[in-house]
């Protein structure tokens, strides 16, 4: 479905839970988040209904996020439901990878296509520190399991943070010399916990790129669902990507809406405007739900203005869906 700026909006990111088994410093407070109650979280039937309605409007891509989607009970069943929706591409997922070693094969069998894995350090003690207790070996085991299960291509998402992991940029990039992975450096965004100390920690994508040399650009430009700009070491099986939503925003190609775990539809990550789908889900027919989805597409902003002093987003990333 086209929005008022001619963009084809065909991608819905679905947060299935606001809970997480890690407490990453830029995402969640140390004590975790307030329990909003099981009754306020969308059920699988409701999520499937939203997916079917979205498909009827031209949506094709669906990504499961969190929090951490793998902590949602029976998540494999939800993957199977979405994979069975005619007209939808096979679903994809973003995960921290910690639970993937035991779930990757079942997720693949249920119809999951591929997985993006968040990984902000390759050093065990540093990983433990930023995640407030995470075990790097568990995340690495999850990556290996995902690869073995065929959840490909593997994409590693690295939030670049000045003074924390900027000295690991080359270590991450070198992974692409050994593995057919996409290693993608993402700018820290002033959302939720990430807003604290943002000015000192933020690194623009071009700074990360400047710290590397010997790359050649990969042909093609970001657009639609692909927001990263890729480079490659000559002969390397993998790629290095840069996702720069602040220093070089890609709003003109944005094709997504976001669904929060409690049933709110967001037209932009950096907007506080939300539309509550739960009243429409109580109706027997889909007309109210379809109307809200259409309204969201047609009211999607031309661009975010977070660089121009727009008020920070009130929700944390774990509640929006990373």
* Residue 5 counted as domain residue: no
- Domain presence at residue 291: yes
In a domain, 61, yes or no: yes
User: Would you say residue 2 lies in a domain?
Assistant: no
Is residue 4 domain-resident?
no
Burial class of residue 77 in the structure, from the number of CB atoms within 10 Å of its CB (0-12 exposed, 13-18 middle, 19+ buried): exposed
Residue 30 falls within a domain, yes or no?
A: yes
Q: What is the mean pLDDT of the chain?
A: 90
Query: Domain holding 266: CATH number?
Result: 3.20.20.70
Asked, for residue 82, whether it belongs to a domain, the answer is yes
Using CA atoms, how far apart are residues 2 and 215, in angstroms rounded to an integer? 36
As for how many domains the chain has, the answer is 1
pLDDT of residue 193: 62
Nearest to 313 by CA among 267, 277, 276: 267
- The model's pTM is 0.92
pLDDT digits (tens, 9 = 90+) for 3-27: 999 999 999 999 999 999 999 888 8
Expressed as residue numbers, the domain containing 167 is 11-320
Q: Is 1 within a domain?
A: no
- pLDDT tens by residue, 43-55: 999 999 999 999 9
Distances in Å between the Cα of 284 and the Cα atoms of 78, 272, 280, 317 are 21, 29, 9, 32
Taking alpha carbons only, the member of 209, 227, 158 closest to residue 187 is 158
């Amino acid at each position: 479905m086209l929005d008022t700026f001619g963009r084809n909006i065909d991608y819905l990111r679905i947060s299935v839970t606001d809970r997480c088994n890690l407490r990453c410093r830029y995402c969640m407070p140390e004590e975790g988040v307030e329990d909003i109650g099981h009754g306020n979280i969308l059920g699988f039937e409701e999520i499937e209904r939203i997916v079917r309605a979205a498909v009827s409007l031209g949506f094709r891509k669906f990504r499961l996020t969190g929090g951490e989607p793998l902590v949602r009970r029976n998540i494999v069943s939800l993957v199977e439901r979405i994979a069975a929706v005619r007209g939808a591409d096979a679903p994809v997922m973003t995960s921290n990878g910690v639970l993937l070693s035991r779930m990757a094969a079942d997720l693949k069998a249920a119809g999951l296509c591929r997985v993006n894995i968040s990984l902000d350090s390759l050093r065990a003690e540093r990983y433990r520190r930023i995640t407030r207790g995470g075990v790097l070996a568990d995340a690495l085991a999850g990556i290996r399991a995902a690869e073995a299960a065929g959840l490909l291509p593997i994409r590693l998402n690295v939030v670049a943070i000045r003074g924390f992991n900027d000295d690991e940029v080359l270590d991450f990039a070198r992974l692409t010399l050994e593995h057919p992975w996409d290693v993608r450096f993402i700018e820290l965004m002033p959302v939720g916990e990430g807003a604290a100390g943002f000015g000192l920690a933020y690194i623009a994508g071009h700074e990360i790129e400047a710290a590397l040399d010997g790359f050649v650009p990969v042909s093609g430009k970001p657009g639609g669902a692909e927001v990263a700009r890729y480079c490659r070491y000559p002969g390397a099986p993998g790629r290095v990507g840069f996702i720069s939503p602040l220093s070089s925003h890609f709003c003109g190609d944005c094709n997504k809406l976001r669904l929060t775990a409690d049933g709110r539809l967001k037209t932009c990550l950096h907007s506080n405007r939300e539309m509550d789908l739960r009243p429409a889900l109580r109706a027997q027919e889909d007309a109210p739900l379809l109307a809200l989805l259409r309204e969201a597409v047609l009211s999607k902003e031309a661009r975010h203005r977070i660089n121009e002093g727009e008020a920070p987003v009130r929700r944390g990333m774990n509640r929006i869906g990373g």
